[in-house]
């Protein structure tokens, strides 16, 4: 439709945004807060529409749209949303998959806990980012240790 004025388009877009509130988390308190907010916003929209229809909107349609925006800013979403809960669950699941770095206290090649240990001269690292350790003074086991990326 191209025959709508910019003021009407502005008001309709504002009403659509005003009534578009996120779904609540699956908790009674969040659902209750969501229902209260939706009910409050529907009553405000009905009041604006009624004022327009009976001629009480003397300040114009753009003022009515601004009024709804101000009310939305005064009373924002304060409950936990379903998206927040899902995001938190995904972060929790992802962090559970990340292995804690394993502290290595022995040479990877010979297993000796003696002598100073240093990062393997090849620069090999485990997937955790920790360096592969080897005897700093050399060892007799040769290259029989685990591969980097274990």
pLDDT over threshold 90, residue 105: no
The pTM of the full predicted model, rounded to 2 decimals, is: 0.58
117: β partners: 135
Mean pLDDT, residues 34-57 taken together: 97
pLDDT tens digits for range 70-80: 999 999 999 99
Q: What's the mean pLDDT in 77-100?
A: 78
Distance CA 15, CA 3 (A): 19
Is residue 142 classed exposed, middle or buried when 0-12, 13-18 and 19+ CB atoms within 10 A define those classes?
Answer: exposed
Neighbours of 46 (CB within 10 A): 10
Q: What is the largest CA-CA distance in the chain?
A: 96
Q: What is the pLDDT of residues 2-14, one digit of tens each?
A: 678 999 999 999 9
C-alpha of 126 from chain center: 29
- φ, ψ (nearest 5 deg) of residue 24: -80, 160
Q: Which sign does the torsion angle of CA 32, 37, 80, 13 carry?
A: positive
H-assigned helices in the chain: 6-19, 28-53, 61-74, 82-97
Q: Give the residue-averaged pLDDT of 138-150.
A: 48
Instruction: Give Cα 19 distance to the centre of its chain.
Output: 22
CB 133 within 8 A of CB 119: yes
């Amino acid at each position: 439709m191209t025959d709508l004025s910019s003021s009407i388009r502005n008001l309709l877009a504002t009403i659509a945004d005003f009534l578009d509130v996120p779904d609540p988390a699956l908790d009674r308190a969040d659902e209750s807060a969501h229902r209260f907010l939706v009910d409050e916003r529907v009553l405000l929209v009905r009041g604006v529409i009624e004022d327009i229809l009976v001629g009480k909107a003397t300040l114009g349609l753009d003022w009515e749209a601004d009024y709804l925006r101000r009310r939305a800013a005064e009373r924002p979403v304060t409950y936990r949303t379903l998206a927040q809960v899902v995001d938190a669950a995904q972060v929790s699941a992802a962090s559970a998959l990340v292995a804690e770095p394993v502290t290595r206290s022995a040479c990877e090649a010979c297993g000796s806990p003696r002598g100073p240990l240093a990062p393997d001269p090849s620069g090999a690292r485990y997937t955790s980012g920790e360096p592969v350790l080897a005897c700093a003074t050399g060892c007799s086991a040769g290259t029989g240790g685990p591969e980097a990326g274990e």
